[in-house]
């Protein structure tokens, strides 16, 4: 079988801080509990993406990369697909948290580290997020936790729709209520909570904190600011390089109605996520497929693919380095 562009079925994930607004879009209105995350593309064993279209329908992303590694994995820094993409709907504040890097996570969690990037779809009324802290060292952090003064050390920064925020491992951060975003991250599921707003879970118990592990991985006494956008232009269509970091590369592509965008082949699979509008994907001799909002499509290595915009569209194009 010749590898072809595949679409994945979103995976809804219950979160205490999640919401209900996006359920209709993902056709999961029957779920009563709040959904905080929709895993659009995942090779993590905690939630494996499943193909929806073509001869490979029903196969997991892990099965694809094992059977067709040259096409669906390429030169990956992990033995599995190294990028995990989510849509996050936060209707409450998330916990203040931090993620480890590869070295720490592999040693203590048997997983990979987690650097991530947020593409903001909707920002809270305050137009803020928590990003960074004022702890000078581990001792000051531990003392603040013990004395319940963590909030005094948190740094708030501004965000708005269309921003790209890079959150490298070691960065203390939290999304605030009513933020909706797309998250591109390393394939990992390791989070260390530092502070959870004195909240309790559905059984009335405080959620677990990870004070000591967070102390190990926090970046201290550093000045952090979120990644600035770096635009450039390409012919009629507008392509912006949102970020090029050691773990992934993200472009934002804006197309006018009825224009055609060719995605040239490279040495890794290319994932696209439609942010707004509808486009039709053409590949080889297959019939054109509609690419709709928040659908994750993976284009295999070496494949040239054309997107024709039905109306004005915006989509993210995600690749990675080996």
Query: Which amino acids are annotated as binding site for Zn(2+), given as ranges?
Result: 99, 116, 173
Active site residues: 193
Exposure b/e, 21-45, CB count within 10 A at least 16 = b: ebbeebeeeeeeebbbbbbbbbbbe
Q: Which two tokens stand for residue 262?
A: 């060719």
What is the spatial distance between Cα 321 and Cα 237, in angstroms, rounded to a whole number? Answer: 25
Exposure b/e, 260-290, CB count within 10 A at least 16 = b: ebebeeeebbbbbbbbebbbebbbeeeeebe
3-state secondary structure of 182: strand
What is the spatial distance between Cα 47 and Cα 17, in angstroms, rounded to a whole number? Answer: 19
What is the spatial distance between Cα 292 and Cα 280, in angstroms, rounded to a whole number? Answer: 9
| Segment holding 213, helix H or strand E | helix 211-217
**Within its chain, how far is the Cα of 66 from the centroid?**
23
If DSSP states are collapsed to H, E and C, what string results for 56-105?
CCCCEHHHHHHHCHHHHCCCCCCCCCCEEEEEEEECCCCCEEECCCHHHH
Q: Is the CB of residue 123 less than 8 Å from the CB of residue 175?
A: no
Q: Which residues are annotated as a binding site?
A: 99, 116, 173
The region, left, alpha or beta by phi > 0 then psi within -120 to 50, assigned to residue 146 is: alpha
Q: Which of 59, 118, 69, 105 shows the shortest CA–CA distance to 245?
A: 118
């Amino acid at each position: 079988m010749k590898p072809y562009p595949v679409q994945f079925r979103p995976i809804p994930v219950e979160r205490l801080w999640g919401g209900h607004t996006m359920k209709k879009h993902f056709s999961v209105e029957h779920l009563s509990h709040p959904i905080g995350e929709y895993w659009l593309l995942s090779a993590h064993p905690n939630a494996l993406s499943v193909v929806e279209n073509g001869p490979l329908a029903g196969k997991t992303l892990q099965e694809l990369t094992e059977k067709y590694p040259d096409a669906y994995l390429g030169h990956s820094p992990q033995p599995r697909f190294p990028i995990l993409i989510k849509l996050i709907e936060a209707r409450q504040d998330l916990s203040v948290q931090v993620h480890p890097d590869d070295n720490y996570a592999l040693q203590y969690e048997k997983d990979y580290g987690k650097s991530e990037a947020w593409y903001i779809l909707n920002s809270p009324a305050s137009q803020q997020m928590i990003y960074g802290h004022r702890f000078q060292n581990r001792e000051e952090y531990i003392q603040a936790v013990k004395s319940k003064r963590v909030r005094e050390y948190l740094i708030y920064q501004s965000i708005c729709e269309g921003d790209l925020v890079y959150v490298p491992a070691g960065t203390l951060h939290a999304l605030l209520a009513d933020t909706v975003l797309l998250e591109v991250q390393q394939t990992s599921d390791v989070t260390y909570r530092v502070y959870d707003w004195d909240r309790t879970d559905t059984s009335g118990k405080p959620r677990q904190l990870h004070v000591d592990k967070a102390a190990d991985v926090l970046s201290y006494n550093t000045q952090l600011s979120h990644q600035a956008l770096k635009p450039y232009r390409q012919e009629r269509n507008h392509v912006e390089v949102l970020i090029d970091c050691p773990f992934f590369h993200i472009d934002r592509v804006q197309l006018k109605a009825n224009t055609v965008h060719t995605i040239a082949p490279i040495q890794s699979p290319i994932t696209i996520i439609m942010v707004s509008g509808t486009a039709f994907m053409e590949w080889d001799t297959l019939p054109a497929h509609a690419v709709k909002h928040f659908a994750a499509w993976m284009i295999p290595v070496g494949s040239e693919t054309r997107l024709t915009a039905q109306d004005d569209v915006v989509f993210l194009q995600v690749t990675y380095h080996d």
